[in-house]
Amino acid sequence: MGPLAVGRLATLTVSHEVFLNRRSKAHHRLREASFMNSLDWLISCRLLSVVKQEYQWVFEFDDSSSLRVECLWRLLENGRIRLTSEDDGQQFGLPAPVLAAYEKSRRIVGSCVSSVALREGTLDLELRFQTSHVLQVVPTTAGYEAWNARHGDCLYVATGGGELAIFRGVRGENDPYTAQHQDHDGTVYPQSNRWPHRLNAE
């Protein structure tokens, strides 16, 4: 093989590597955009109620969607922490203990979500309301589910370790075991092949 042919081969090899690198970056950007938009359906949803259950906080929206939180949340007002899930039942020298569900309800129930932000890797979730209040949901465990959101027959679950699992075809309330799991690249897995490590499965 002559010098000219070798040079052309080297050029083709470099060009192919550049193409693969650009395609990989484009695919990453596409996956990242898909991830960031996963919960955009919450935008314009009106919050109807906030209820504290034994181990979780339930936020119900007007289109039958819901957000269930089992980790730390905090409510920002004018850019400052106004209330957190850990304040519930605390007295702080006040005449009566803090009722976090009531305090939160009177501030944001009836308001619509104006923007949603989801942090990849940690699954910190931020909902900004038209009242300018900001609800921040902060996962605090690497093993248990932190929160889940239900919209139609889709269930979005913040799993331990920071993976967002999406289940489609959910029949009952929060019933991922009858559905399929779909990764952000569109790959679908039967639920029976997912989450063998799930610590809080019943």
Q: 3-state DSSP helix/strand/coil percent for the chain, to nearest 5? A: 25, 30, 40
Query: What pLDDT is attached to residue 194?
Result: 40
Model pTM?
Answer: 0.69
Interatomic CA distance for residues 62 and 49, integer angstroms: 9
The pLDDT of residue 105: 82
Based on the fold, state whether residues 5 and 95 are members of the same structural domain.
no
Q: Which residues of the chain have pLDDT under 70?
A: 1-36, 89, 91-94, 96-98, 100, 102, 171-202
Under a CB-based contact definition with an 8 Å cutoff, are residues 124 and 104 in contact?
A: no
pLDDT of residue 138: 96
- Check residue 48 and give its pLDDT: 96
Per-residue pLDDT at 8: 53
Residue 130 lies in a domain: yes
- Tokens describing residue 40: 């955009």
* Domain match, 31 and 87 both: no
Strand partners for 158? 147, 164
Same domain, 104 and 67: yes
Give the closest residue to 163 by CA, choosing from 191, 182, 186, 188: 182
Q: Which structural domain, as residue segments, surrounds residue 118? A: 42-193
Based on the domain organization, do 9 and 89 belong to the same domain?
no
Write down the pLDDT at residue 43: 96
Residue 99 makes CB contacts below 8 A (sequence gap 6+) with 88
Same domain, 74 and 107: yes
Residue 202 in domain: no
User: For position 20, what pLDDT does the model report?
Assistant: 45
pLDDT of residue 173: 55
pLDDT value of position 12: 47
Q: Supply the pLDDT for residue 101.
A: 74
